[in-house]
Amino acid sequence: MFPLDPQNALAWLHSTGWLPEGEPAEIVPLAWGVSNVVLRVEPATTPHFVLKQSREQLRTRDPWFSRLDRIWREADAMRVLQPLLPPGRIPQVLKEDRPNYVFSMEAAPARHTVWKQALLEGDFRHDVALQLGRDLAQIHTQTAANPALCLPFADRQVFVELRVDPFYKRVLQAAPEVGRPLEQMIDQMFETQICLVHGDFSPKNVLLTQEGVVLVDFETVHWGDPAFDLGFFLSHLLLKTVLHRDRFEAVAGLSQQFWRGYLARLDECQAHPILSPDTIVSRTLPHLAGCMWARIDGTSKIDYLPQPQQQVGVRDFCRGLLLRPPGDWGEVLNRLKVGKFG
């Protein structure tokens, strides 16, 4: 594999014919996560596009590895999911270079904001959360109704490498007192294959543009349990709620609007018994706890809650979700509101 970087990408593009020989272009590295090299290519006379190349070792403090061919799962998932969502929501895959584990895709408008950054800076757009709830429900319900779309994504090795081991297994090591509910949740998850699960549905993979929302990063897509997506996504929103405790109601409203969009779509479709409102909410809560806790003690730690009391507060909150499950989402938020986070 020829490893691409901002210095050699232009010459590689010319040599492969992906850009005409001599065509000038600016190469801009993009900060989409820790697992790949992502470069925005801005030619002088043709539309901009993005190059994405997988890396076996992820850029984290603790060692973390995953198979290179996950990049093709991502390209395949983008092709499958694109028709299920509004036009422009998922970029179109353009070209592939299999020996070098790289593909190109349409670029989002240059003037865009990564939703994670907006949240960190205190910009809480409830309309975005509502739309994302609808989008995720659309993915879950439409693929639950069409198992043929899911079958090519039945292998969950990449999901184990990028989520189960560095998230849930690390929490099990750090907190054996919650081993039983976490192990039960993991077992239940692996027994469940009802729809396509994004596996990385998070604010860092949501781009806000003048035209709307763009979703990126699909390498952990698999046929599995939709509760993981919900717990994973909501863990990000609740961690931002801990960060912005002085604006609790505004930040907590994001999760309420997300649930509003998601559950409304479930009511319309009735795609599967697990995708009924009461069932999916109860199945989501242990995933929420495991994912939140993993961002403190797992392989991929957040950097915006650095104070020890904040981290202790997150652990205590998650421990309570696992050992004393709340009855509904309102109780989850009430516990978060009265929690001690320093």
Percent pLDDT > 90 in the chain is 86
pLDDT band at 62 (very low <50, low <70, confident <90, very high): low
* Mean pLDDT, range 338-342, rounded to an integer: 92
- Does the structure show a pLDDT above 90 at 281? yes
CB contact burial 304-331 (16+ within 10 A = b; e otherwise): ebeeeebbebbbebbbbbbeeebeebee
All residues at 6 or more sequence positions from 90 whose CB lies less than 8 Å from its CB, including other chains:
78, 81, 82, 214, 215, 218
Position 22 scores a pLDDT of 87
Q: Among 265, 199, 253, which residue's Cα sits nearest to residue 226?
A: 199
Rounded to 5 degrees, φ, ψ at 114 are: -75, 125
Ramachandran category for residue 328: left, alpha or beta (phi over 0 → left; psi -120 to 50 → alpha):
beta
Distance in angstroms (rounded) separating the CA atoms of residues 71 and 32? 14
* Mean pLDDT, range 168-175, rounded to an integer: 97
Distance in angstroms (rounded) separating the CA atoms of residues 130 and 132? 5
pLDDT digits (tens, 9 = 90+) for 11-22: 999 999 999 998
Query: pTM of the predicted model, to two decimals?
Result: 0.94
pLDDT band at 34 (very low <50, low <70, confident <90, very high): low
pLDDT band at 67 (very low <50, low <70, confident <90, very high): confident
| Residue that wins the pLDDT comparison between 268 and 125 | 125
- Mean predicted lDDT score pLDDT of the chain: 94
CB 6 within 8 A of CB 27: yes
CB 34 within 8 A of CB 115: no
Q: Among 111, 105, 84, 140, which residue's Cα sits nearest to residue 217?
A: 105
pLDDT band at 32 (very low <50, low <70, confident <90, very high): low
In 55-147, DSSP assigns E strands to 93-97, 102-106, 113-114
- Does the structure show a pLDDT above 80 at 270? no
Rounded to 5 degrees, φ, ψ at 41 are: -105, 125
Q: Among 200, 161, 184, which residue's Cα sits nearest to residue 65?
A: 161
Position 271 scores a pLDDT of 72
pLDDT digits (tens, 9 = 90+) for 214-231: 999 999 999 999 999 999
Position 36 scores a pLDDT of 82
Domains of the chain and any CATH numbers: 9-106 (3.30.200.20), 113-338 (3.90.1200.10)
Q: Among 245, 336, 217, which residue's Cα sits nearest to residue 285?
A: 336
pLDDT digits (tens, 9 = 90+) for 114-124: 999 999 999 99
Distance in angstroms (rounded) separating the CA atoms of residues 234 and 289? 10
pLDDT band at 1 (very low <50, low <70, confident <90, very high): confident
